[in-house]
Amino acid sequence: MRTRIRHTVPLFLAMTMLVVGAGTLTGCDSEENGGSNRSGAAEASQPRAREVAAAWDGSQAAKAWSRGYHPMDEHVQPPENGLRGKADRRAFETRSFMLRGELPAVSPGVGTVTWERGGSLKAPLTGAREAYASLDRTSGPGPHLTVTRAEPGVMTLATHRGPATVPAWLFTLEGYDTPLKQAAVAPSRLSEPPIAPAPQTSSRNLTPLRRLVDMSADGRSVTVQADHGACDDGPRVTVLETSGSVVLSASVAGVDDGPCTGRLDGEKLTVRLDRPMGDRVLLDAFTGRPVPYGEPGGPSPSWR
């Protein structure tokens, strides 16, 4: 299934911004609703994909990635039974909160991320006041959710290494029996990638990818967002799988050379893999970097 998301940034400018900010980019799909497409114009992307895979497989960057904490899930979770009413849902979406009460001031120190499949990681924790400040992103009139207290706890998140139990702050919301949860551990920083972004002069039809939206529970498919212009046939992607990585190569099909609006559309597409993702790293062929979860600069990026 494809989902369209409209932006107002010209395609050329948006692609340039993504290349400059290559630290916050992400992945795409294989033809239409999945399955690896390795024919036609897609063949042009395979040499670059092989270069990226060869640079990453067995590299120090790949080893650091596998040892780090890279969430592929929202680090803020609403109360267990969801939010009641349109006003509360709107407040959550816009991150509009009001504090009524005191938050713990003590520094929480270090916590442990524990993976369901084994392994753990020690990481510094975010304080309750810092966590609340990052949670409350909207000021002014409009609906809001009221926080009355916070206490330490845990939450479960999907990560690049499968489900993990993560230290969290549990915020009590006025009118709710269960708390809102926010991860108290920041994602690991990305090591210096072993390959530079593709030069624009030699990248052929390759384009940078926007973001990872979701990964299936069995690891056999990933849903991603790719951008394209208003006067083309939409984004396409090829998939190159190796034992250590999965490289996605995005391009735009049917580009019209005539006059066109500056509108930028985004599409959510699903990529189906030949085998489960496992511990392999998901890479963008254009940028040569891992595909992060979440919008660049948004509340839940998978790396910083």
**In terms of domains, do 12 and 109 share one?**
no
- Greater model confidence, 261 or 70: 70
Mean pLDDT of 91-117: 91
Q: Is the pLDDT of residue 47 over 80?
A: yes
In a domain, 140, yes or no: yes
Q: Is the pLDDT of residue 31 over 50?
A: no
What confidence score (pLDDT) does residue 92 get? Answer: 94
The answer to whether 2 touches 268, Cβ cutoff 8 Å, is yes
What confidence score (pLDDT) does residue 227 get? Answer: 74
Average pLDDT score, the chain: 80
* CB contact burial 159-187 (16+ within 10 A = b; e otherwise): bbbbebebbbbbbbbeebeebbbbbbbbb
Of the candidates 167, 183, 199, which is a domain's last residue?
Answer: 183
Percent of the chain's residues with pLDDT above 70: 74
In a domain, 300, yes or no: no
Domain count, the chain: 2
**In terms of domains, do 81 and 149 share one?**
yes
pLDDT level of residue 258 (50, 70, 90 thresholds): low
What confidence score (pLDDT) does residue 46 get? Answer: 85
**In terms of domains, do 63 and 199 share one?**
yes
**In terms of domains, do 81 and 106 share one?**
yes
**In terms of domains, do 61 and 201 share one?**
yes
* Local structure of residue 125 (DSSP, 8 states): B
- Summarised one tens digit per residue, pLDDT across range 120-167 is 999 999 999 999 998 998 877 889 999 999 999 999 998 888 899 999
**In terms of domains, do 63 and 8 share one?**
yes
- Greater model confidence, 34 or 158: 158
**In terms of domains, do 198 and 62 share one?**
yes
In a domain, 296, yes or no: no
Of the candidates 119, 148, 183, which is a domain's last residue?
Answer: 183
Mean pLDDT of 39-48: 61
In a domain, 213, yes or no: yes
Give the Cβ contact number of residue 237 at 10 Å.
25
**In terms of domains, do 111 and 84 share one?**
yes
Q: Is the pLDDT of residue 49 over 50?
A: yes
Q: Which residue, among 287, 272, 281, has the nearest Cα to 37 in the 3D structure?
A: 272
Give the Cβ contact number of residue 158 at 10 Å.
16
Q: Is the pLDDT of residue 180 over 90?
A: yes
**In terms of domains, do 235 and 282 share one?**
yes
Please tell me the distance from the alpha carbon of residue 169 to that of residue 135, in angstroms, as a whole number.
Answer: 11
Tokens of 26: 């992400």
In a domain, 275, yes or no: yes
Identify the domain containing residue 254 by its residue range.
Answer: 3-68+191-290
What confidence score (pLDDT) does residue 214 get? Answer: 84
In a domain, 297, yes or no: no
Mean pLDDT of 246-263: 71
**In terms of domains, do 85 and 62 share one?**
no
CA distances from 266 to 149, 225, 249 (A): 39, 6, 16
Q: Which of 14-18, 189-193, 195-199, 258-262: highest mean pLDDT?
A: 195-199
What confidence score (pLDDT) does residue 161 get? Answer: 87
- Summarised one tens digit per residue, pLDDT across range 63-95 is 999 999 998 888 999 999 999 999 999 999 999
What confidence score (pLDDT) does residue 54 get? Answer: 97
Of the candidates 183, 211, 229, which is a domain's last residue?
Answer: 183
In a domain, 29, yes or no: yes
In a domain, 272, yes or no: yes
**In terms of domains, do 179 and 96 share one?**
yes
**In terms of domains, do 33 and 170 share one?**
no
The answer to whether 201 touches 246, Cβ cutoff 8 Å, is no
- Greater model confidence, 194 or 301: 194
What confidence score (pLDDT) does residue 260 get? Answer: 63
What confidence score (pLDDT) does residue 297 get? Answer: 54
- Summarised one tens digit per residue, pLDDT across range 222-247 is 888 877 555 656 778 889 999 999 99
Percent of the chain's residues with pLDDT above 90: 46
